[in-house]
Structure 1
């Protein structure tokens, strides 16, 4: 199989748009495609693998900045231990953040309920 693909082939196989590929290049998530004659960009199987890994990490809830911090590890650590440890730490932080937001929302709900009841009592006294 030819290791070099044009952008249309990469986008079709990875399920992303050409705009996404160019954006990921611009922010350093994937290496720039090699240019040959007429400015045509060519991409490798590794680029395709990186695009697929980016999609998997996005589905886990990682931001593009977080993905930028771990993506290279997936391609330099053959055992996969380092990237998974780093992703696990990120996911634990997301969970802690979610728990904090849930706590704040629960307190907000308690406060809303108390204010509603206070207004209802005040209005009941005025209507009598």
Structure 2
């Protein structure tokens, strides 16, 4: 099964907060592989990989149900929901991800244009004589 980590180490590895990891557990997106004798959550590398998949869906605006579907298809667990047409649904979710990535690229381009405008104004001010 590999190395087992407590939630703090998982948080360090993923950059997620303890609260977020616990929330993902509460809503059933990730389940610790084991518990220590003291009751601490223990995670493995596959659990961390699963959290990283969730992290990648978040900026694309995937809802919890969509996240569950993606995980049920690409990383199923015994508790995963049954997906009627996994290949078809994966194709739909892939199109959704592609569309949302394109929208993020459009927004990023606008943000970069704005940042460039600010740099131009800053550079122009640097060329001005100091005010007294």
Please give the range of the TM-score, normalised by the shorter of the 2 chains: 0.5 to 0.7
TM-score, normalised by the number of residues in structure 1: 0.59
- Alignment counterpart, residue 88 of structure 1, candidates 83, 94, 115: 94
The SS at the match of 1:28 is coil
Contact 1:58 1:64 in 2 (8 A): no
Does residue 28 of the first structure (1) align with residue 28 of the second (2)?
yes
Other-structure match for 2:71: 71
Deviation at 1:71, TM superposition (A): 1.2
- TM-score of the superposed pair, with normalisation by structure 2: 0.57
Q: Is the 8 A contact 1:3 1:45 kept in 2?
A: yes
Q: Which runs of 4+ in 1 moved over 6 A?
A: none
The equivalent residue for 1:51 is: 51
CA RMSD of aligned residues (A): 2.9
**Count of equivalent residues:** 92
Report how far residue 32 of structure 1 moved.
3.4
Which structure carries more helix by proportion?
A: 1
Gaps of 5+ in 1: 99-128
Of structures 1 and 2, the larger Rg is shown by 1
Please tell me whether residue 61 in structure 1 is matched to residue 67 in structure 2.
Answer: no
Would you say 1:42 and 2:42 are equivalent positions? yes
Deviation at 1:92, TM superposition (A): 7.7
